[in-house]
Amino acid sequence: AAFDAGEHASYMLKEILEQPDSAERVLRGRLVERFGTAHLGGLNLDARETRAISRVKILGCGSAYYVGQMGASLIEELARIPADAEAASEFRYRNPIIEPDTLYVAVSQSGETVDTLLAVQEIRRKGGRVIGLVNVVGSAIARECDGGIYLHAGPEVAVASTKALTTMFLGFSLLALQLGRVRDLSIADGRRLIEGLQRIPDHIRQILGHDDEYATIAKQLAEAESLFFVGRVRGYPVAREGAQKFKEISYRHAEAYQTSELKHGPLALIEASVPTVAIVPDDELADRNVAALHEIAARGGPLVVVTHATVDLGDLTATRIDVPACERELDPILLTLPLQLLAYHAALHLGHDIDKPRNLAKSVTVE
At a CB cut-off of 8 Å and minimum separation 6, what does 193 contact?
36, 78, 173, 177, 327, 329, 330
Structural element, H or E, at residue 247: helix 235-250
When the beta carbons of 31 and 164 are compared against ligand G6P, the nearer one is: 164
CB-count burial class (<10 Å; 0-12, 13-18, 19+) for 225: exposed
CB of 282 to ligand G6P, least distance (A): 29
Sheet containing strand 129-134, strands side by side: 83-87, 55-60, 102-108, 129-134, 147-150
Angle at 71 (CA atoms; ends 66, 77), nearest 5 degrees: 135
Q: Does 250 bind ligand G6P (CB under 6 A)?
A: no
Q: Does 339 bind ligand G6P (CB under 6 A)?
A: no
Q: Which of 157, 182, 297, 364 binds ligand G6P (CB under 6 A)?
A: 364
Binding mask 73-112 for ligand G6P (x = CB under 6 A): -----------------------------------xxx--
Q: How far is CA 350 from the centre of its chain?
A: 25
CB of 261 to ligand G6P, least distance (A): 24
Q: Does 346 bind ligand G6P (CB under 6 A)?
A: no
Runs of H (alpha helix) within 130-234? 140-144, 163-182, 187-208, 211-222
Q: Does 63 bind ligand G6P (CB under 6 A)?
A: yes
CB of 240 to ligand G6P, least distance (A): 12
When the beta carbons of 116 and 166 are compared against ligand G6P, the nearer one is: 116
When the beta carbons of 350 and 364 are compared against ligand G6P, the nearer one is: 364
- Of 135-174, binders to ligand G6P (CB under 6 A) are 159-161
Paired residues of 134 in beta bridges: 108, 150
At a CB cut-off of 8 Å and minimum separation 6, what does 103 contact?
45, 53, 55, 56, 57, 129, 131
Q: Does 360 bind ligand G6P (CB under 6 A)?
A: yes
Helix-helix angle 235-250:331-350, to 10 degrees: 20
Q: Does 336 bind ligand G6P (CB under 6 A)?
A: no
Question: Of how many residues is the chain composed?
Answer: 367
CB of 189 to ligand G6P, least distance (A): 30
Q: Does 215 bind ligand G6P (CB under 6 A)?
A: no
CB of 133 to ligand G6P, least distance (A): 9
Q: Which of 10, 73, 116, 167 binds ligand G6P (CB under 6 A)?
A: 116
Applying CB under 6 A, the residues found at the interface with ligand G6P are 61-64, 108-110, 113, 116, 159-161, 360, 363-364
